[in-house]
């Protein structure tokens, strides 16, 4: 299948990154969101990120300008019906994703491939509620999208080989590496990563160490580039909690029980960098541990 035009649903951190790399690879991109403000922020963020790449000599000025010209935005979800591939990158809530697909499906071309950037939700279940489960799969980018090389490709039980190969071709054209994962809760990366973060929160909760000592221990003792609590703030504590709940519900194993302290931070609205407070307080010049 010849994919030329890509639709991206959601103009947040993941959505604008996906639009950025797709446009830079030569695809025409149409980005949808329910808020014009979100679309404007996404466009500005893409411009800044492209300028940063030009400044580092990673992208030419001409290629950056061409990529910007390939990106269009719309508040009307139905406009994505004329694209060849749709990548849904809305919030990590299954009810929201289901509602989006229900509204979009009647407007799609028969051959359009539907994908979700979900980091943990069942691809088989999402696909079953559409009219094209064989042309549906998981297309999970890592954050930040322009920097991270990996894309997880997740086949649902009905995903056909043609759809998989078409998505694999897109990943290769983006200059990224695909990792094929089976459709089990949280797939590969988050199945390993987020329980580690949750365990770090338990270590904090039980008073074994404070925020600074836990992060320093893992950076210097395990050679991690970022401590687990710092990483949790970067991902978003609400997203971490959502993934732990998917693991706990989907695998019915107590080792995936979300730490009560993680739940408490989310209840407080301290979600990490995006709210300026999480395990660190980002409101000053330097991040300060909150515990």
Q: How far apart are CA 113 and CA 122, in angstroms?
A: 17
Concerning whether 248 is annotated as a catalytic residue, the answer is: no
Concerning whether 223 is annotated as a catalytic residue, the answer is: no
Concerning whether 152 is annotated as a catalytic residue, the answer is: yes
245 annotated as ligand-binding: no
12 annotated as ligand-binding: yes
Determine which one of 120, 122, 190, 198 is catalytic: 190
Q: How far apart are CA 71 and CA 249, in angstroms?
A: 38
CA distances from 36 to 89, 91, 171, 188 (A): 16, 17, 29, 34
What is the bridge-based pairing of β-strands 85-88 and 5-9? Answer: parallel
97 annotated as ligand-binding: yes
Determine which one of 116, 120, 122, 152 is catalytic: 152
161 annotated as ligand-binding: no
119 annotated as ligand-binding: yes
179 annotated as ligand-binding: no
10 annotated as ligand-binding: yes
Q: Print the SS3 string covering the chain.
A: CCCCEEEEECCCHHHHHHHHHHHHCCCEEEEECCCHHHHHHHHHHHHHHHHHHHHCCCCCHHHHHHHHHHEEEECCHHHHHHCCEEEECCCCCHHHHHHHHHHHHHHCCCCCEEEECCCCCCHHHHHHCCCCHHHEEEEEECCCCCCCCEEEEEECCCCCHHHHHHHHHHHHHCCCEEEEECCCCCCCHHHHHHHHHHHHHHHHHCCCCCHHHHHHHHHHHCCCCCCHHHHHHHHCHHHHHHHHHHHHHHHCCHHHCCCHHHHHHHHHCCCEHHHCECCEECCCCCCEECC
274 annotated as ligand-binding: yes
CA-wise closest residue to 50 among 39, 40, 41, 59: 59
Determine which one of 119, 120, 122, 198 is catalytic: 119
15 annotated as ligand-binding: yes
Determine which one of 120, 140, 198, 230 is catalytic: 140
Which positions are catalytic?
A: 119, 140, 152, 190
Give the residue numbers of the binding site for NAD(+).
10-15, 33, 92, 97, 119, 143, 274
Give the residue numbers of the binding site.
10-15, 33, 92, 97, 119, 143, 274
């Amino acid at each position: 299948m010849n994919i030329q035009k890509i639709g991206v649903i959601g103009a947040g951190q993941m959505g604008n990154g996906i639009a950025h790399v797709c446009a830079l690879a030569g695809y025409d991109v149409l980005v949808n969101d329910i808020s014009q403000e979100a679309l404007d922020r996404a466009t500005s963020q893409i411009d800044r990120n492209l300028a940063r790449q030009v400044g580092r000599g990673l992208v030419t000025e001409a290629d950056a300008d061409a990529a910007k010209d390939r990106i269009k935005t719309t508040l009307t979800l139905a406009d994505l019906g004329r694209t060849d591939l749709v990548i849904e990158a809305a919030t990590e809530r299954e009810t929201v994703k289901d509602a989006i697909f229900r509204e979009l499906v009647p407007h799609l071309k028969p051959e359009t491939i539907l994908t979700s950037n979900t980091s943990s939700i069942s691809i088989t279940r999402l696909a079953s509620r559409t009219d094209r489960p064989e042309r549906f799969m998981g297309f999970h980018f890592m954050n930040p999208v322009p920097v991270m090389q990996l894309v997880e490709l997740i086949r649902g039980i009905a995903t056909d080989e043609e759809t998989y190969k078409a998505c694999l071709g897109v990943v290769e054209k983006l200059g990224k590496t695909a990792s094929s994962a089976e459709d089990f809760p949280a797939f590969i990366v988050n199945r390993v990563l987020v329980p580690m973060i949750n365990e770090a929160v338990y270590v904090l909760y039980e008073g074994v160490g404070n925020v600074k000592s836990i992060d320093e221990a893992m950076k210097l003792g395990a050679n991690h580039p970022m401590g687990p609590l710092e990483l949790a703030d970067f991902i978003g504590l609400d997203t971490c909690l959502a993934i732990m709940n998917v693991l706990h519900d989907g695998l019915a194993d107590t080792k995936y029980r979300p730490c009560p302290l993680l739940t408490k931070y989310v209840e407080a609205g301290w979600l990490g960098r995006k709210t300026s407070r999480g395990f660190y307080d980002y409101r000053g010049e330097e991040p300060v541990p909150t515990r």
